Amino acid sequence: MRIEQHISQLLYRYQCVTVPGFGAFLTENRSAQLVQDTNTFYPPKKVLSFNFHLKNNDGLLANHISLCEKIDYEKAVALIEEEITAWKFSIQKSEALTLKNIGKLSLNSENSLVFEPIDNLNYATDSFGLTSFISPKIKREVYKKEVEKLEEKTPILFTPEKRTSSWIKYAAVFAFGIGMAGFFGNQWYEKKIANETLLVEKAVQQKVDNKIQQATFFIENPIPSVTLSVEEESNSNQYHIVAGAYKEISNADRALQSLLDLGYKAKKITPNKHGLYPILYGSYATIEEAKTALQTIKETHNKDAWMLVLELEK
């Protein structure tokens, strides 16, 4: 059995998935990004990393495998140990270990473990269906300097001419005046048309920009997507140590009273999807506190206790 498919399923729901005796895969939320050099937009995503220091069994992976494969918890733990042994043997032979939908693990020149996460899979459920895309720059018309100088006047050269009759001179002056008036009138009219055209182009361009922005960032009729709760660390006590889960409520009440008599801050929570009543030793605000408490409980009271990450309804 390959356990990476179960790790991948848990990464959609949890920030930390620990592989006992090997390390932990962690996810971190990253906001949407824009790379201006390439005009590429990237949706929000979960960045995947690996921490080989976190090796203690928190029960999450084994319990998930036990439920999915319908096997005992102890059998699931044994299967995980077998798979980890194969992983370590492959890495020690200086071979890259590729985990489907997760990434690649290998040793560098300094004999240190290096993790390369997969790039084509996004574990952020809020970004379901979103992919990166390139939005080319909007090309706007650039007017040349010669076009902007529409008001430059053509130089007028006066050449000496023979004397003519006065009516011819007046007619020439009149014709020249009409020509100049027509020239400047035409220049004024063309400038007015150009300004009005520019205003219309700006208005049309603004509407196009608004449409592009709306089409880029808003989906008016989104396809219904599967909503998965993504657990994040907060100030609430969302890390719980489970003593057991009981089908009969009377058995659950007896187990609860037994833990209360021993001094634990025990509690009974609502039945899970299998109809079982979980009984908790206690709840903790951080995963470090919960792991410390789980280790103590396993050593002193119940070796089958395991950790549940769940935000209880207030």
Query: Is the predicted pLDDT of residue 58 greater than 70, yes or no?
Result: yes
pTM equals: 0.39
**By C-alpha distance, which of 13, 4, 8, 12 is closest to 238?**
13
Mean pLDDT of the chain: 76
Give me 19's structure tokens: 């592989």
pLDDT category, 279, cuts 50, 70, 90? very high
Q: Which CATH architecture has domain 239-309?
A: 2-Layer Sandwich (3.30)
Query: Is the predicted pLDDT of residue 52 greater than 70, yes or no?
Result: yes
Query: Is the predicted pLDDT of residue 283 greater than 50, yes or no?
Result: yes
Query: Is the predicted pLDDT of residue 278 greater than 80, yes or no?
Result: yes
Q: Name the least confident of 61-70, 73-82, 135-144.
A: 135-144
Q: Are 101 and 6 in contact (CB under 8 A)?
A: no
pLDDT category, 72, cuts 50, 70, 90? very high
**pLDDT tens-digit series, residues 223-250:** 454 444 444 444 577 889 998 888 889 9
**pLDDT tens-digit series, residues 136-185:** 766 655 555 555 555 555 555 545 555 555 556 556 655 666 666 666 66
Q: Say how far apart CA 96 and CA 86 lie, in whole Å.
A: 12
Q: Are 92 and 13 in contact (CB under 8 A)?
A: no
Task: Spell out the residues 6+ positions from residue 40 whose beta carbon is closer than 8 angstroms to its own.
Answer: 34, 132, 133, 134, 135
